[in-house]
Structures are given as structure tokens and as C-alpha cells.
Amino acid sequence: MNSPSVPADSPAPDAWEELVTAALLGTDRRTPPGGAPGRQAPVTLLDTAAVATVRRRAGLKPARAAQRPQPAPEDPRPVLPPAAARRLAMLLADRPGAGGGRRGTAPDLMELLPQWLATANDRGFAPPPETLPALLDAARGRTDLRPAALTFAGPRAVWLARLNPDWRFALRATPGGGAALPQLDDPAEVRQLWQEGLFAERVGLLSAIRAREPAAARELLTTTWPTERAEDRLMFLDSLRTGLGPQDEPFLEQALADRSRNVRATAAELLSALPGSALAARMAIRAGACVALDHTRDAPTISVEAPHECDAAMERDGVVAKAPAGRGERSWWFGQLVEAAPLGTWSGRLGGRTPGEIVALPVTDDWQGELHAAWCRAAVRQRDGAWARALLGSPSAPEAGGPGAVSLAERAKLLGKLGSAERAEWVAGFIATHGLSEAFQLLGVCAVPWSGPLGRAVVDALNIARDAGSYPWSFSGVMGLAERCLDPSEASRLDGLLAIPDEPEDASPGAGGYWAEAFQRLVTTLRLRAAMIEELDTVSPSGGAPSGGV
């Protein structure tokens, strides 16, 4: 409405209504109140309306206050130092625009936001409240930002999200953020939400409890398990991955008989990740029957006899009988058996050898690829560092660079099972031997910032690529990673690369200039990251206190 407030004491609201009616219909059809019909009628109407309008406006009074919102919960964290707050505003202002184009030497600020958030969270700062809308908008557009952004945003963001449907994701993502469920200690409340809540709320509740007390979550799930829908059972079962332990075995064993095939498969997968489970033992027997050491040859060799059938018991234990198109079913079954068998059993089966020795053994009849790939999957699933190390092999081995038995994606997963220092060292060795063309995925699993040797390996490889005369955008992925992951203290080592080099004859035209530009961007970004972190480490003299309202 035009006048949302109430006019003071309008002497005759009816008179105004009549004026509006007369104006709407026209004075030829309706005589306005207090005026004579005819030539002067419109002017009289306008005169009266002008007085009435000014009178109505001058008499406006405030409206009645609506129910005020609940105050946002206090955020006990200290507010950001001023320099860091300005930096945040700048990072958030640099929203990715539609027009991409060449990047030039300027850093990609939006890409630095994840790191900034991680550091700010690590230091335990609270955001200035007025930045929350921009922060939530950024997190809305980029799901990968959400966990860190919401942690940083803190309780006020959840409060805010309840008022704006655009930010509902913040309620979903925060356990207990949506409804009134924060009291995980209250069994009655938990039970009620579990029985009456929406699916997303229930998943949130289950994950929250599972993270605190795994057994309690399983028991809660057991109470309603038979009545859940198949898709929901699958999701709930999936949330048991967190804190998976031997106590879960009876429940999972029971789920092996589930009506839904997907639920059965997930239960079997979870059980096989428990090396002590009965399912793992059954799989060990089945897999062991297929693999044997053949001493009749010159050197000990692994021989493989794939299963001839997939019986009901195997299917019950999660083996999928039907092979995907293009795969032989026997090798399909074999792969699943080895994948689910505990890796610890192989040493005994194969003459007490270590994982490294086992992987080095030759395998008969082209079974090596199938067998090693299955071991890789098992090492990832069972989080076995020793096997992961053995399967990765030496990074400088010639076959490590090619597609080989172990795909890059699997290698990246295997690397994830190693310690961060070992991981970085392996990838550094890999890059030193094989260059950058296959390294992107592997670099992605390395801890940030990159360790010294890894960073140097990457920079050296980039330098080699430049000297080889290719364009920098062939390496834009690695370059982007380097901007975000290289230790900022490496910046000074890069100074030598900023100049435009003389162009060798066989080089791509202009490449030198583009490389200098790319390295400039790299250095600029590194300096910016160093500044960012420094700003978050300075404790401001006045801003050190918590920001609580006085």
C-alpha cells in the first residue's frame, strides 16, 4: 500500500474515499463531494485532493510493531582484525563474473576465499556481522565453500538463514540448525525429532549423534529400521561410515539380508572395511581359493583361478552377479572378492611376504591388472598405508608415468592413505621424473601449503615446461593449484622467472611473455596469501576482545 502507516485522526476517511471514487470515474460521471458539477468540478476536486493528501501525509503515525525476532545467539569468538575484515570484504566483492577472458597478472581472489576461511577458522575469529549476507551468498553459489563458510559465519548466520529462504542451505548444513533440536542430551527430544522430523533433519540428527556417540546413533537407527523406505535406509546406512567399528557388525550383518539391493551392497562394503568381521573372513576364504603361489616356474609366480560361479552366499555377501557390459563375469566376480578380502590375509597365503614383495611378484596369464586394481580398492577401503605404499611403488619407476595397472584416480586415492609428508615426497618424485602433464590429480591430494621439496619440484617442472616452449595455459590447472597451494615463502625464489626470456627458435610465438605473466600472477598471489595470513595473525590492540554486545 501507498501509505503503510495509519493517518492520525482522519476526520472523514469516507470523504477521501469519495474523492478517489470521483477521480476514478471522472467528474462528468460523479460529482465530487463538496463541489458543483460542471466546468470547475475537476479543479475543485484537485484542490480538495491536494489539501487531503498533504493532510494525510502530515498526519502519518508509526505503525504498530510486529513481533520482534529472537535475538541472535552471542558469538564468543573475537572479531576479525580490521585489516583482515577489509580483506574479507575484497575477497567477497570479487564475485566471478560472466566474462572470463585472459586472466593477466591479477590474482583470482575468489579462489583464495577457501584458504582465507580455513585460516580464519583456525585462528577462531568471528566475522563482522554485516559481511554475513555476502558470505552466505558466496556459499550459496559454491557448495564446496559451505562447510568452512558456515563454520566461520557462526551462529548469527544460522539465525539469519531462518529469516531468508535463499540461505536455507545453512539450516540443512548445520546439524540442529533447522528445527529446535540442539539438545542431543535429551533422549525424549531426540526420539521425537527422529520419529517426526523431515528427512534432512533426521539425517542431520543421525550424523550429529554418530559423530559424538557411534553406538547411540546405531541404536536410534535400529528403532525404526524396518519401517524406513529403501532410499532412506540407504542414506542412513551411509551415515554409519563415520566411526565405523566392530560393534556395528551385527547390525550390518542383518542388513545383508535387506530387501533393497543397494542397501545390501552398502552393508557388505561397510563390513568388508572391518577386517575382523565374519563377512571379511568369508571373503578371505573365497579370494584365497582363487589365488595361489606357483612354485613350478623358475621364479615364484602368482597364479589366479577366477571363480566359476557366483553362488547365493556370495551374492548375499554383496557380490554383484551381473557383470557390466564388456567385462567377463569371472574376472568381475574375482575383482569383487579380492577387493572385499582383508589385505592382512595375503601375507600368510603367499609365503609370509611383505606387501611390497607380494606386489613385486609376477602374475600369470595377464591377471596382474585385475589383481592389483582389486588390491588398490581394498587398500583404499581398508585404509591400509603399507599396502598403499607398496601398490604405489616408486614414483620414479617408468611405468608410474603411464596409465599402467593403477589408474591416476586410484593412485590419488592410495596417496590419501599415506601420511602427508610421505605423500608430498612421492608426488615430488613423480613430478621430477614424469613432469606435470599427469600430476594435477595427484597434487590435489597433497596437504596445503605444499612441502618444500614438492613446491620446488613443481616450480622446476614449470620452468622446464617453459623452456620447452609450450604455452602456459597447457598447465593452467597446475598453475592455479600452485597459486593456491605453494608455500608463500617460496615467492622470493620465483623472482628469476618473472622476466620475459629470449625466445628460442622452436618456441611457440609469444609464449615467453605469457609465461612471465603467469609467473607474475603466481608471485602476486603468493604475496597476497602471505599478507592474508599475516593479517589474521596480528592481534589488534582494541579488537582483541570479544564482540559481544554491551
Partner 1 sequence: MTQQGVRWTAEQVLALAPDAASRKAGSKLGAAGPWSEAGSSDEGTVWGLCKGSGSKPYQTVIDIADAAGPAYKCSCPSRKFPCKHALGLLLLWADGEGAVPPAQAPDWAEQWIKGRRQRAEEKRTAGASGSSSASGDPEAARRRAERRAARVTAGATELEQRLADLLRGGLAGAEQAGYGMWEETAARMVDAQAPGLAARVRELGAIPASGPGWPVRLLEECALLHLLDQGWLRREGLPDALSDTVRSRVGLPASADGPPVRDRWLVLAQYDTADVKLTTRRIWLYGADSGRTALLLSYGAAGRAPELALPVGLVLEAEVAAFPGAGQLRASLGEQFAPPAPTSIRPPGVTTAEATARYGQALRDDPWLDSVPVTLDRVVPTPDGDSWQLADADADTALPLTPAARARPGLWRLVSLSGGGPVKVFGECGHRGFTPLTAWPQGEGEAVRLC
End-to-end CA distance of the chain: 38
What is the helix (H) or strand (E) element at residue 291, kind and residue range?
strand 291-294
Q: Which stretch binds partner 1 (CB under 8 A): 128-136, 144-152, 336-344, 504-512?
A: 128-136
Choose between 53 and 195: whose C-beta lies nearer to partner 1.
53
Contact set for partner 1, span 395-424 (CB under 8 A): none
Specify the residue, 54 or 464, whose C-beta has the smaller distance to partner 1: 54
Residue at grid coordinates 541472535: 72
Cα separation of 113 and 333, whole Å? 45
* Shortest Å, Cβ 67 to partner 1: 7
Shorter beta-carbon distance to partner 1: residue 85 or 415: 85
Q: Does 521 contact partner 1 by CB under 8 A?
A: yes
The residues facing 304 across adjacent strands are: 291
Amino acid at 179: A
Cell, residue 90: 575484497
If the CB atoms of residues 108 and 315 are measured against partner 1, the closer one turns out to be 108
Shortest Å distance, C-beta 18 to partner 1: 12
Tell the smallest beta-carbon distance from residue 64 to partner 1 (Å): 6
Question: Please, which contacts does 313-316 make with residues 24 or more away whose CB atoms are closer than 8 Å?
Answer: 313/282, 314/286, 316/256, 316/257, 316/264
Question: Which residue's CB is nearer to partner 1, number 96 or number 182?
Answer: 96
**Residue 543: CA count within 13 A, CB half-sphere:** 17
Q: Decide if 253 contacts 282 (C-beta within 8 A).
A: no
Shortest reach from residue 173's CB to partner 1, in Å: 18
Q: For partner 1, which residue of 18, 31, 42, 301 counts as binding (CB under 8 A)?
A: 42
- Residue 129 one-letter amino acid: P
- CB nearer partner 1, residue 56 or residue 172: 56
Shorter beta-carbon distance to partner 1: residue 89 or 285: 89
Q: The C-alpha cell of 474 is what?
A: 597447457
* Contact predicate 499/41, CB 8 Å: no
Going by DSSP bridges, is the β-strand pair 291-294/301-304 parallel, antiparallel, or unpaired?
Answer: antiparallel
Shortest spacing between CB 29 and partner 1, in angstroms: 7
Taking the C-alpha atoms of residue 239 and residue 258, their distance in angstroms, rounded to an integer, is 17
Return the CA Rg of the chain.
34
State the Cα angle at 122 between 119 and 124, rounded to 5°.
110
Report the C-alpha gap between 112 and 191 in whole angstroms: 42
CB of 143 to partner 1, least distance (A): 21
User: Shortest distance, CB of residue 141 to partner 1, whole angstroms?
Assistant: 14
- Which is closer to partner 1, CB of 118 or CB of 531? 531
The residues in 221-280 that bind partner 1, with binding defined as CB under 8 A, are none
Looking only at residues 154 through 183 of this chain, which bind partner 1 when binding is defined by CB under 8 A?
Answer: 156, 159-160, 163-164
- Report the distance separating Cα 376 and Cα 369, nearest Å: 11
Residue 116: CB minimum distance to partner 1, A: 14
List the one residue out of 489, 491, 494, 486 whose CA is nearest residue 450.
486
Task: Tell the smallest beta-carbon distance from residue 95 to partner 1 (Å).
Answer: 8
The residue (of 130 and 366) whose beta carbon lies closer to partner 1 is: 130
Q: Phi/psi of residue 41, each to 5°?
A: -55, -45
550 in contact with partner 1 (CB under 8 A):
yes
Using CB under 8 A, count the residues that bind partner 1. Answer: 74
Closest CB to partner 1 among 202 and 529? 529
Nearer to partner 1, 149 or 237 (CB): 149
The 13-32 contact track toward partner 1, x by CB under 8 A, reads ------xx--xxxxxxx---
Window 45 to 74, contacts with partner 1 (CB under 8 A): 45-47, 49-50, 52-54, 56-72
Q: Is 9 in the site for partner 1 (CB under 8 A)?
A: no
Which 81-120 positions form the footprint of partner 1 (CB under 8 A)?
A: 83, 86, 89-90, 93-94, 97, 104-107, 109
SS (H, E, C) 536-548: HHCCCCCCCCECC
Residue 319 CA to residue 313 CA, distance in Å, equals 9
The distance of closest approach from Cβ of residue 165 to partner 1 in the complex, given in angstroms and rounded to an integer, is 12
Q: How far is the CB of 498 from partner 1 (least distance, A)?
A: 10
- Residues 131 and 89: beta-carbon distance below 8 Å: yes
